[in-house]
Amino acid sequence: MKKIILVRHAKSAWDNPNLSDHDRPLAERGLNDAPRMAKRLKNRGIHADLLLSSSALRAKETAKIIAKELGYPKDKIILEPSLFHASPHAILKYLQSQDDRHQTVLVFGHNPGFTDLIVYLGGDIDNLPTSGQFGFKLKSGFWKDLKPENVEPWFVDYPKKHH
């Protein structure tokens, strides 16, 4: 069974007005939340076959922190510029094009695209917060079948959720 986990980037810093939105780094809160959330993924027994990330600095930094915790090689994270502020449709199309040999895929990106995609796929959420994770299980062996009728929500987790 294929699994997809959408991970919104950790909290980013807004203290440098000269930086473009694409180049904003993680804030201190993000640097604290991301490793905690990575440990929760590890405690779920998540073994990632593929990490895909928006090319934005805050998404890339979040992906690297989680890769380290999951024992995934940082140099194997695929940076995809089209995931930066992508529409839910664009994210879905990108995921449907992935190689079927990958079973568990983590995607690092942004709102509103992620929240909209989660809702479209049948997830019950108002807003995926920073460092939030939403997992789906795909009832098919093929990524091209990633559609609302073929997925079931698996889990949702975020920093302020009590365990």
Percent of the chain with pLDDT over 90: 95
Q: pTM for this structure?
A: 0.97
Say if 46 falls within a structural domain.
yes
Percent of the chain with pLDDT over 70: 99
How far apart CA 57 and CA 95 sit, in angstroms, is 21
pLDDT digit string, tens, across residues 101-133: 999 999 999 999 999 999 999 999 999 999 999
What's the structural domain count of the chain? 1
Say if 54 falls within a structural domain.
yes
Q: Is the pLDDT of residue 76 over 70?
A: yes
Q: Is the pLDDT of residue 22 over 70?
A: yes
Given a contact cutoff of 8 angstroms between Cβ atoms, the answer to whether 104 and 154 are in contact is no
Sheet holding 50-54, edge to edge: 78-80, 50-54, 104-109, 2-8, 133-138, 151-157
Say if 162 falls within a structural domain.
no
Task: Give the range of the structural domain holding residue 130, as residue numbers without chain letter.
Answer: 2-14+21-157
CATH code where residue 82 lies: 3.40.50.1240
Say if 37 falls within a structural domain.
yes
Check residue 111 and give left, alpha or beta (phi > 0: left; psi -120 to 50: alpha).
beta
What pLDDT shows up at residue 12?
96
| Least confident segment among 32-36, 58-62, 88-92, 159-163 | 159-163
Say if 66 falls within a structural domain.
yes
Six-digit token pair at 62?
């979040």
Say if 163 falls within a structural domain.
no
Q: Is the pLDDT of residue 163 over 70?
A: no
Say if 7 falls within a structural domain.
yes
Q: Mean of the pLDDT values across residues 21-31?
A: 96
What pLDDT shows up at residue 162?
75
Q: Which residues pair with 153 in a beta bridge?
A: 136
Q: How many helices (H) and strands (E) does the chain have?
A: 4, 6
Q: Mean of the pLDDT values across residues 67-79?
A: 97
